[in-house]
């Protein structure tokens, strides 16, 4: 907390241990242990850490969900806006601390934008004029004023997320906590949310943003790093790459650049132009302008989409889409929320039969081939792994696909073993998949798809909710698969994943393919990205400021050399 | 893709007060049950369909027409078998079954119109306006709101399992029933997690913070409310009068 700033939230020796079986992933260990933390008025705090570090647990302590709504053992105390959270009900604390979860759909229950925001003030029994005033202020802060009378079903994902924030904001809490609230958003949505957080802080409210990396948490005044329930770093300065590595965490790209090039910014500055300038000031010059050689050409086409269109009632989701994916190729489908990405994916394995248009996968016409035959060629991993896990053991769950496809017991056992080996879950065959962590559940879901021995693997947002180390592990696995000849098609918002792991990117906007090319080409077309609500990763933009093309920190650093002083 | 029944385009029933909508639903859905003769229950159904079409619920009616036809057919079939055993003829059974099926469908139609024109928020506001405690009213509205969410989740789960080769369409009844097992656990888990998150989200939005709750939207009865209430009361009164007069009421021999 900055000196002199009055304290809004203060944790003293805060600890929490989950009691229920739904949190078996945490075991009976302390999810939070001896946390001391102070958040000042008008301060923006980035609460960072890997999965299981205790970020969500701490967020739930701010507004009293812990200990009132989540069973477990609480140690120490949390005081928010002068109120000990143990002394009041969650509903009574809503005026002091507001919390927005990652799943914004679950937080919206009213028919229109205006009524959604009014719901909280109505519960406080405020006079109608005061409710109206609060609704207007909250909508203006989140730039939703023009949508007041719109149905929430007619909003985009980004608008819904901002609405969830506005709905909490109308309660006028002294502290607003966003728990991975931007992880499902496109760049545009994240920008608007970050801008709203800045406005709130300027307005005197404290804002806590929990996320996996500083880059995605937006601008902030204080960085708090959690690791295994402890505060591992708390400072106005971001945690240096060395500290993160020592704790087994992956440093973000800015921290890595600052560390490798020994920049004075220390990874705190997120602006590409200023970082590029700092790199020049540190005495680096461009050694190589040409990008590294492109990866070898991929094999023959295994997916061909021609003239594909699809509508949900009156809403056009896809319009004359074309796509070709080669054997061993990793293709990223990117674009704004609601741009038609998932609809395109669902055509590739026959979940939606193409009409009009044509989809051919491994020589099969998807409109005509039986579902089972398509599934033996194409495996699909849904965005939410919980939608496909059902068996009592990891083994049985992974074996479901091969068994359903009529493979014999020996083949099934072999395929399951190979799939579990690929995702690093060998030895955990007898565990109940439902009790695993989100990252492990995602891996079981992926293993289930791999056990089908597909020639094409289709994944809808496989990195959502995973920390950077888990994301890297998943993407390395997909890279290995593609090298063995499997074509991989992923939908993702994580542009750094696209930059580092995909061969090609396809930009979808309003159901149309706006651009299709190598990742380097696409990430260099700022206008196309901007129109689709996307933005190149920070590393790519820093490289662009320096006049070079680089897709990763390593590429960027290898293209630079210290200037030789005469 | 949305699975709710609420129609966004405003029709004449959208414009009335939430209390009027509850009165419309209560009396409108009950009236056909006072009659049994298919000529009268059929008229009630025709009136319900006309109301649905003019109120903007016609599209929902088209979505569910197969359910109504199936229901009438099954009712006719059941009564055609059951009633002759009680001393009536087969034709009388069919006639009685037709009357019973049509009156249930007429009531369902009114329910469909109500759901097509009333938001969850209006449902709870209307009930509170009629004297029902807020918590009870809110639970009813939330339960109705969750139906499309659960359906949507179920479809996502079916898609996820179909992608793994799940076949729900071939084989006998037992095989098909067993094929649904992989859908049950994720459904149950998703529903429980969703309910858990919903209850936390409601508390975070101060539900239950004060004894007294206020509303942004004013509840005022206008001429439209008077017209709708007058119409539905007259409709209900007519059904009561017909029943008292013995018209439209039909009993099979031996009943």
3-state secondary structure of A393: coil
Interface test with A, best of B18, B189, B201, B220 (most A CBs within 10 A): B201
Query: So what's the pLDDT on residue A296?
Result: 62
Q: Using a CB-CB distance cutoff of 8 angstroms, which residues of chain B are in contact with residue A171?
A: 205-206
Given CB atoms, is B206 within the 8 Å cutoff of chain A? yes
Beta strands in A220-280 (DSSP E): 222-227, 230-235
Cα nearest neighbour of B202 on chain A: A107
Rounded to 10°, the helix A128-141/A157-169 angle is 140
Q: Quote the CATH superfamily of domain A328-339+371-539.
A: P-loop containing nucleotide triphosphate hydrolases (3.40.50.300)
Q: What is the pLDDT of residue A125?
A: 94
Is the distance from CB of A139 to CB of A113 less than 8 angstroms? yes
B113 with B224, same domain: the answer is yes
Contact yes or no for B209 and A95 at CB 8 A: yes
Q: What is the pLDDT of residue A269?
A: 65
Q: What is the DSSP string of chain B?
A: --------S--TTTTS-HHHHHHHHHHHHHGGGG---HHHHHHHHHHHHHHHHHTT-HHHHHHHHHHHHHHHHHHHHHHHHHGGGGT--HHHHHHHHHHHHHHHHHHHHHHHHHHHH--HHHHHHHHHHTT--HHHHHHHHHHHHHHHHHHHHHHHHHHHHHTTT---SSS-HHHHHHHTHHHHHHHHHHHHHHHHHHHHHHHHTTTTSSSS---SS-----HHHHHHHHHHHHHHHHHHHHHHHTTT----TT-
Low-confidence stretches of chain B (pLDDT < 50) are 1, 254-255
A404 shares contact with chain B (CB less than 8 Å): yes
A315 vs chain B: nearest CA distance in angstroms? 9
Rounded to whole angstroms, the Cα distance separating A343 from A330 reads 19
A384 touches chain B (CB under 8 A): yes
Show Cβ contacts of residue A157 under 8 Å, excluding neighbours closer than 6 positions.
A104, A184, A185, A186, A189, A337, A338
Closest residue of chain A to B134, computed from CA coordinates: A123
Strand partners, A118: none
**pLDDT reported for residue A295:** 64
Q: Do B213 and A115 touch (CB under 8 A)?
A: no
Quick one: which of B122, B104, B121, B124 has its CA closest to B112? B104
Residues B99, B151 share a domain: no
Interface test with B, best of A60, A61, A90 (most B CBs within 10 A): A90
Place of tokens 């005081």: A79
Domain A7-236 is found in CATH 3.40.50.300: yes
Are residues B97 and B131 located together in one domain of the fold? no
Helix, strand, or coil (residue A383) = coil
- Whether residue B225 is found in the same domain as residue B159: no
CA–CA separation, B142 and B119 (whole Å):
10
* ipTM confidence: 0.78
A127 forms beta bridges with: none
Q: Go through A322-345 and write b for each residue having 16 or more CB atoms within 10 A of its CB, e for each that does not.
A: ebbbbbbbbbbbbbbbbbbbbbbb
Residues B234 and B110 in one domain: yes
In this predicted structure, what is the pLDDT of residue B181? 81
- Check residue B1 and give its pLDDT: 46
- Residue B35: which domain range? 28-117+220-245
Query: What's the structural domain count of chain B?
Result: 2
The predicted pLDDT at position B217 comes to 85
CA distance B255 to B241: 22
In chain A, what residues touch B1 (CB-CB under 8 Å)? 312-313
pLDDT averaged over consecutive 10-residue blocks of chain A (566 residues)? 71 89 58 92 88 88 92 93 93 94 81 92 95 94 86 76 90 92 71 80 89 71 88 82 72 81 69 85 80 70 94 83 94 86 90 90 91 89 85 92 90 92 88 81 90 93 80 89 93 90 93 92 90 87 89 89 69
Q: Is residue B1 part of a domain?
A: no
DSSP assigned state of A196: H
List the beta strands (DSSP E) in A65-113.
72-80, 83-84, 97-100
Q: Do domains A7-236 and A328-339+371-539 have the same CATH topology?
A: yes
Residue that has been written with the tokens 């059902």 in this structure: A390
Q: Which of B207, B164, B204 is nearest to B182 (CA)?
A: B164
Distance CA B157, CA B181 (A): 12
Per-residue pLDDT, B254: 47
- The domain ranges of chain A are 7-236, 328-339+371-539
| Beta strand pairing call for A230-235 and A222-227 | antiparallel
Interstrand relation of A358-361 and A364-365 (parallel, antiparallel or unpaired): antiparallel
Tell me the two tokens of residue A460. 């809808």
Pair B73, B129 in one domain: no
CA dist A342 and A336 (Å) reads: 11
Residue found under tokens 């971001």: A238
What is the three-class DSSP state of A126? coil
- Eight-state DSSP code of residue A302: E
């Amino acid at each position: 907390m900055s000196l002199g700033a009055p304290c809004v939230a203060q944790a003293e020796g805060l600890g929490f241990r989950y009691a229920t079986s739904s949190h078996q992933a945490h075991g009976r260990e302390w999810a939070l242990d001896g946390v001391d933390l102070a958040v000042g008025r008008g301060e923006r705090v980035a609460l960072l850490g890997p999965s299981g570090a205790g970020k969500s647990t701490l967020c739930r302590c701010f507004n009293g969900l812990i200990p009132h709504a989540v069973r477990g053992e609480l140690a120490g105390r949390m005081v928010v806006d002068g109120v000990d959270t143990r002394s009041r009900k969650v509903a009574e604390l809503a005026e002091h601390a507001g919390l927005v979860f990652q799943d914004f759909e679950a937080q919206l229950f009213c028919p229109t934008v205006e009524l959604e925001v009014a719901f909280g003030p109505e519960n406080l029994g405020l006079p109608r004029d005061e409710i109206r005033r609060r609704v207007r202020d909250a909508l203006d802060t989140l730039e939703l004023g023009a949508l007041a009378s719109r149905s929430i079903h007619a909003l985009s994902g980004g608008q819904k997320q901002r609405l969830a924030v506005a709905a909490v904001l109308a309660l006028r809490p002294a502290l607003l906590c966003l728990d991975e609230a931007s992880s499902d958003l496109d760049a545009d949505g994240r920008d608007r949310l970050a801008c709203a957080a800045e406005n709130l802080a300027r307005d005197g409210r404290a804002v806590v943003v929990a996320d996996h990396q500083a880059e995605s948490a937006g601008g902030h005044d204080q960085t708090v790093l959690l690791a295994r329930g402890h505060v591992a770093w708390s400072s106005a300065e971001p945690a240096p790459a060395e500290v993160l590595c020592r704790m087994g965490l992956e440093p973000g790209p800015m921290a890595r650049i600052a560390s490798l090039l020994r920049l004075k910014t220390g990874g705190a500055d997120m602006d590409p132009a200023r970082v590029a300038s700092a790199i020049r000031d540190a005495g680096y010059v461009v050694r190589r302008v040409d990008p590294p050689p492109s990866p070898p050409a991929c094999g023959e086409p295994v997916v061909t989409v021609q003239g594909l269109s699809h509508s949900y009632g009156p809403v056009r989701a896809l319009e004359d889409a074309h796509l070709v994916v080669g054997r061993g190729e990793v293709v990223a489908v990117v674009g704004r929320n609601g741009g038609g990405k998932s609809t395109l994916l669902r055509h590739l394995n026959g979940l939606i039969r193409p009409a009009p248009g044509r989809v051919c996968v491994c020589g099969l016409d998807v409109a005509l081939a039986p579902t089972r035959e398509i599934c033996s060629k194409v495996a699909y991993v849904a965005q939410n792994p919980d939608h496909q896990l059902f068996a009592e053991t990891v083994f049985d769950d992974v074996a479901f696909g091969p068994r359903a496809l009529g493979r014999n017991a020996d083949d099934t056992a072999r395929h399951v073993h190979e799939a579990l080996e690929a995702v690093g879950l060998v030895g955990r065959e007898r565990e109940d998949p439902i009790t695993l962590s989100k990252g492990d559940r995602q891996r079981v879901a992926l293993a289930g798809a791999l056990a089908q021995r597909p020639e094409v693997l289709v994944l809808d947002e496989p990195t959502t909710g995973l920390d950077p180390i888990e994301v890297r592990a998943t993407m390395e696995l997909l890279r290995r698969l593609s090298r063995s000849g499997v074509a991989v098609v992923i939908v993702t918002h994580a542009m750094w994943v696209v930059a580092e792991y995909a061969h090609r990117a396809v930009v979808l906007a309003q159901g149309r393919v706006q651009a299709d090319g190598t990742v380097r080409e696409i990430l260099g077309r700022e206008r196309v990205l901007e129109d689709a609500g996307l933005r190149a990763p920070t590393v790519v933009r820093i490289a662009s400021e320096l006049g070079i093309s680089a897709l990763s920190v390593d590429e960027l650093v290898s293209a630079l050399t210290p200037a030789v002083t005469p | 893709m949305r699975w709710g029944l609420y129609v966004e385009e405003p029709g004449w029933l959208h414009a009335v007060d939430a209390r009027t909508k509850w009165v419309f639903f209560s009396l409108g859905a009950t009236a056909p049950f006072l009659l049994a003769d298919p000529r009268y229950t059929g008229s009630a159904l025709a009136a319900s369909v006309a109301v649905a079409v003019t109120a903007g619920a016609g599209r929902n009616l088209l979505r569910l027409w197969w359910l109504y036809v199936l229901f009438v057919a099954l009712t006719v079939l059941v009564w055609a078998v059951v009633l002759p055993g009680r001393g009536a003829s087969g034709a009388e059974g069919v006639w009685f079954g037709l009357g019973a099926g049509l009156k249930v469908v007429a009531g369902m139609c009114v329910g469909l119109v109500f759901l097509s024109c009333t938001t969850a928020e209006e449902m709870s506001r209307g009930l509170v306006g009629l004297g029902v405690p807020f918590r009870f009213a809110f639970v009813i509205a939330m339960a109705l709101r969750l139906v499309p969410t659960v359906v949507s989740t179920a479809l996502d789960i079916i898609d996820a399992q179909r992608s793994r080769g799940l076949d729900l369409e071939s084989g006998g009844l037992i095989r098909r029933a067993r094929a649904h097992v992989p859908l049950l656990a994720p459904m149950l888990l998703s529903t429980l997690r969703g309910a858990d998150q919903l209850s936390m989200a409601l508390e975070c939005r101060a539900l239950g913070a004060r004894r007294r709750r206020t509303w942004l939207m004013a509840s005022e009865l206008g001429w439209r409310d008077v017209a709708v209430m007058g119409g539905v009361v007259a409709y209900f009164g007519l059904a009561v009068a017909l029943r008292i007069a013995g018209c439209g009421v039909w009993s099979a021999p031996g009943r």
